[in-house]
Chains A and B, each alone.
Chain A
Amino acid sequence: MSHQNPQVESPPQPSGNDAIQPKAPDFIETQDVPPLSLEHERFPLWLYLLCGFILFLAGSSFTGFGIFGRDYLDQGPGGPVMASASQATTQVAATPMDLGKKIYGGNCANCHQASGVGAPGSYPPLVGSEYVLGFKERLAAILLKGLQGPVTVKGASFGTMVMPAQETILTPEKIADLMTYIRGSWGNTANAVTTDEVNAAKTKFASHSAAFTEAELQKIAPNGPDPTDKKP
């Protein structure tokens, strides 16, 4: 009598007709193929050309190879090929405007923005500002000692941020160049500032250590152009 169990089911077939079958092309295992072919194939020409080209590019890294010893740090042959990359290394800025622009970019643009518009409520704009275009002594006071508390510029109020003093960060020469730059950029057309004028302001305010407030600045000079000043 053969063994029969009417309750035995055949094992479930793979569901759907999309299921992967053992004989699918990717699942057949070819046992007897040697893993590495030993026949000598020649490399195609384009491969040699490509590798030659890469070697040529890689050669740009060979500069500085002769520099040994711990006195020399990685310098690089020069930056990426930008139009004025070579000028960057000489850094010869001829005019006060150029110097002032550089100082502005490094010290002021973070807050007052590269376009001089500042930020509402926090940083007053320098474009058309009565403090920038007005008396130079007052502007020098702001730069030397800083400004705190609310201030009204072009009818809008600013006061949440304190402007830090630049006296310990910039030499009088640099402050003069910076003042020249902001007074002559973005449509501002006030005249330049000399180092002597900044030094005079520095002497005058030497005893004033804290940042200036708006009231104190208004006492130094009122709004409006300086009548004694030369035209730009």
Chain B
Amino acid sequence: MNIIPNFRGFFWLILIAFLFTWFGLVVFPWLELGHLPPIQDEGSTDITPWDSSGAAHAGEHIYAANGCAYCHTQQVRPETSGADIIRGWGTAKDGDGKDVTRRTYPRDYIWQGQVFLGNSREGADLSNVAQRFPDAAKLYSYLYDPYVLNDHSAMPAYRFLFVTQKISGQPSTDALVLPAADAPPAGYEIVPTAQAKSLVAYLLSLKKGYHLKPDEAGIPYVPPSPNNS
């Protein structure tokens, strides 16, 4: 029995088999979701999703290089598929404080240069981490010592993102406020490096508190006609 009766035929069959997977898995989703435009929020002048600052985009590199995506996801599944909403990871508020708790949609990621949906949850989902931690100081102290928030944490400490320096004159406004166990010796302060600042800026940009139409996946924006409002 000859598995390869004809090399050319074999080659073409393999090619077709690969193309089947390539088109089905990569090309068709790309055609559907690869070119999503932003939309204008109904009833406001917001462009959604919210874009983030340059510092936040720089933070993506720090997030990637230090492998945060190996323990944290950034995708919230719907209520029908897992308990992500119950865990509170989809909880978000819009500008008026109204609840926008929802799953994440493809359009949520179009401004991100590199997307970190993640595949492992040793730590919490970070899609709306800025909603739960709107304060940079808390994020800095958590990065410096994860035990501050959770003394069972398996998260590594990122002390190499910070510098312990002597206080010269006035204490720096960036200096971390830490519990006594982590506090630097007297006369010293702990300040974040530029890498830490970018990373925290990135984390602070992670919130999905804007409206997207339910079940929408990529519907192009149609401006409201003058008769409706």
In the complex, are there CB atoms of A and B closer than 8 Å? yes
User: Which residues of A are at the interface with B, using a C-beta cutoff of 8 A?
Assistant: 36, 38, 70-80, 88-89, 91, 105-107, 110-111, 119, 121-122, 160-162, 164, 167-171, 174
Q: Which residues of B contact A71 (CB under 8 A)?
A: 215-219
List the 7 closest A-B pairs by CB distance, nearest first: A76-B81, A106-B88, A70-B32, A70-B218, A106-B91, A70-B217, A160-B179
- Name B179's contact: one of A76, A80, A121 (CB within 8 Å): A121
Near A by CB (< 8 A), chain B positions 96-110 give 97-99, 103, 105-106
Q: Which residues of A contact B106 (CB under 8 A)?
A: 73
Closest to A106 in B: B88
Q: Closest approach, in angstroms, between the C-beta of A67 and any C-beta of chain B?
A: 10
Task: Assess the B82–A76 pair: CB atoms within 8 A.
Answer: yes
Q: Closest approach, in angstroms, between the C-beta of A188 and any C-beta of chain B?
A: 22
Q: Which residues of B contact A79 (CB under 8 A)?
A: 80-83
Interface-side segment among B8-16, B18-26, B59-67, B132-140: B132-140
Closest to A120 in B: B179
- Given A70-B32, A70-B218, A170-B97; A88-B132 close (CB under 8 Å): no
- Name A110's contact: one of B132, B134, B137 (CB within 8 Å): B132
User: Which residues of B are at the interface with A, using a C-beta cutoff of 8 A?
Assistant: 1, 32-33, 77-83, 85-86, 88, 91, 93, 97-99, 103, 105-106, 131-132, 134-135, 137-138, 141, 148-149, 151, 177-180, 215-219
Considering the chains assembled together, what is the distance between the CA atoms of A47 and B81 in angstroms? 32
Task: Assess the B83–A88 pair: CB atoms within 8 A.
Answer: yes
Considering the chains assembled together, what is the distance between the CA atoms of A111 and B216 in angstroms? 35
* Of B32, B81, B99, most A-chain CB atoms within 10 Å: B81
Q: Closest approach, in angstroms, between the C-beta of A161 and any C-beta of chain B?
A: 7
- Name A89's contact: one of B80, B141, B177 (CB within 8 Å): B80
15 A-B pairs in the complex with CB atoms less than 8 angstroms apart = A36-B1, A71-B217, A72-B217, A73-B106, A75-B81, A76-B81, A79-B81, A80-B82, A105-B86, A106-B91, A122-B179, A160-B177, A162-B138, A164-B134, A171-B98
Task: Assess the A73–B131 pair: CB atoms within 8 A.
Answer: no
Specify the main secondary structure of chain A where it touches its partner. loop
Q: Which residues of A contact B83 (CB under 8 A)?
A: 79, 88
Task: Assess the B135–A107 pair: CB atoms within 8 A.
Answer: no
Q: Which residues of B contact A110 (CB under 8 A)?
A: 132, 149
Task: Assess the A105–B88 pair: CB atoms within 8 A.
Answer: yes
* Of A36, A121, A161, A168, most B-chain CB atoms within 10 Å: A161
Task: Assess the A76–B80 pair: CB atoms within 8 A.
Answer: yes
Considering the chains assembled together, what is the distance between the CA atoms of A121 and B215 in angstroms? 45
